[in-house]
Amino acid sequence: MEFGFAPVQSHADFDAMRKQAALAESLGFHTLWTHEHHSQRMMYPDPLMALAALAPVTTTIGLGSNMLLLPIHHPLRVAQEAAMLDVLCDGRLRLGVANGYSERDMRAFGMLGKHRGKQLEEGLSLIRRLWRGDRVTQRGEGFDLRDFELFPLPLQRPNPPLYVGGHAQVAIDRAARLGDEYLISTTQKFDEVAALVTTYREALAVHGKAPRKPALNRIVCVVENAAGKKAAEAFYARALLRLYDAWGHESVTGLERDERELRVLCDDHFIIGEPGECLERIRRYEAMGIGHIACLMNFGGPDPALVERSMRLLGEQVMPML
């Protein structure tokens, strides 16, 4: 089992993000993840720029976007900037992309139409071809390349890992066909995760691909005692509902009243508890076929001291057991 970590992305000075990133690397986390939302204060708007800021303060940990909203970006620009970042960070990039779901995000860039899936597919295809070093002649939405060659090429060959998100059947099939990895949202319930893993495995088999273990976003908080667990559960439950309702994620906006109860939210969405409890929960995901958990410890803006204690408890008492 691999563990990723999303450093704080809501401070204007960026120092907290850098400090948490360095600590995550020292504790043995596998990947740092940055996110993308717009017109709010919980996420930086440019995941690749945030990763570029983290490259000089780390040396070995992977650097990944989770997720870059590809339809609102020019795919050639993404290919170029991501390739340069892979060179700058000595081959540590993981590029995660998705359609996007927030109406507010999409509207700001004039991208409310249902053709986002087509643009995502075109963009993924173009990025992979350019990263391979092909001389590309291809016309698509907003680009017209004639014998175009990318420079510089990414350091990782044939390409940095491409993660694809989404939970609809068409999105999972896209991840199997066009991606290297599949990343599941923290909005998916516990039982839904198992079904998505099975669907992904089946899609890989249909497309003649080798089996892979998908990655999973989860709100994680490792605490020292029962009182800490109770406080953390209450905080993260409020944050999950407040933020995803505001962002308009259908997996949360569509929750029934009983599904919004504290105990149900904790069972369905969180890994929160003392080290032994978290270890047991993680092993259940591992048994489903999950190979990487991206830990969203900063979700909703908790106390930085709480996050640091959680990081250390996970890194020192849980991760070594896995």
CA torsion 23-44-77-65 (nearest 10°) is 40
Q: What is the pTM of this model?
A: 0.96
Q: pLDDT at position 39, please?
A: 79
Instruction: Give residue-wise pLDDT tens across range 215-242.
Output: 999 999 999 999 999 999 999 999 999 9
pLDDT at 12: 87
DSSP 55-74: GGG-SSSEEEES-EEGGGS-
Q: What is the DSSP string of 89-142?
A: TTS-EEEEEE----HHHHHHTT--STTHHHHHHHHHHHHHHHHHT--EEEEETT
User: Where in the sequence is the domain holding 93, given as residue range(s)?
Assistant: 2-321
pLDDT of res. 114: 66
**What was the pLDDT predicted at 107?**
84
How much is the pLDDT for 100?
Answer: 87
- The CA distance from 274 to 192, in Å, is 25
132-147 per-position pLDDT tens digit: 999 999 998 889 999 9
Domain count for the chain: 1
CB 313 within 8 A of CB 275: yes
In the chain, % of residues over pLDDT 70: 99
Low-confidence ranges of the chain (pLDDT < 50): none
Q: How far apart are CA 58 and CA 88, in angstroms?
A: 12
- Domain of 183, CATH number, reads 3.20.20.30
Helical H segments across 186-303, by residue range: 190-206, 226-247, 250-253, 262-269, 275-288
How far apart CA 76 and CA 125 sit, in angstroms, is 11
Place of tokens 């986002």: 116
d(CA 294, CA 274): 18
